[in-house]
Amino acid sequence: MSKLTKTKVAKAISHSAGIISTIAQKCDVDWSTVNNFIKKSPDLQKLLQAEKEGILDLAETQLIKELKLGSPWALKFYLVTIGKKRGYVKRSEVTGEDGKKLEVGIIVKPTKREKGFMDPTPGTPRGSSDSDRV
């Protein structure tokens, strides 16, 4: 394993897509070593975040290309994510049979105490009660 420096890690972050394992391979160290090193440096954290934002921009660019081509999946994805403020949201409506009202009930299971179980008093065998004593 090699010694990490800010310069070495900064160079490894470039063109890594923000993937820690890629950065670790470039630095010839394991994942946790480089991850901990980055966490200790605000400058490296900013570089890593900028790298991730660049990949997000790339993904958005590809999505827009697909939108312009009229890809149905891209249109749907865009509308249910970006267009949700205009009402394009995916929601599930739950109804009863044939659209009728759905009746909901709650079943409460009795606890051991409600079933007649009593905590033993000190010196009493488990499962017996004071009334069992003679």
**Residue 129 domain flag:** no
**Residue 23 domain flag:** yes
For the chain, the straight-line distance linking the first and the last C-alpha, in angstroms and rounded, comes to: 75
**Residue 122 domain flag:** no
**Residue 65 domain flag:** yes
In terms of residue numbers, what domain contains 71? Answer: 6-99
Q: How many domains does the chain have?
A: 1
Angle at 9 between CA 5 and CA 14, to 5 degrees: 150
Contact 48, 18 (CB under 8 A): yes
**Residue 105 domain flag:** no
Task: Please give the chain's pLDDT, 134 residues, in tens.
Answer: 679 999 999 999 999 999 999 999 999 999 999 999 999 999 999 999 999 999 999 999 999 999 999 999 999 999 999 998 888 887 777 888 888 888 888 888 877 666 555 555 556 555 555 555 44
**Residue 127 domain flag:** no
**Residue 106 domain flag:** no
Kindly state the tokens that stand for 120.
């033993």
Query: Which helix (DSSP H) or strand (DSSP E) does residue 75 occupy?
Result: helix 72-81
Q: What pLDDT, on a 0 to 100 scale, did the predictor assign at position 120?
A: 57
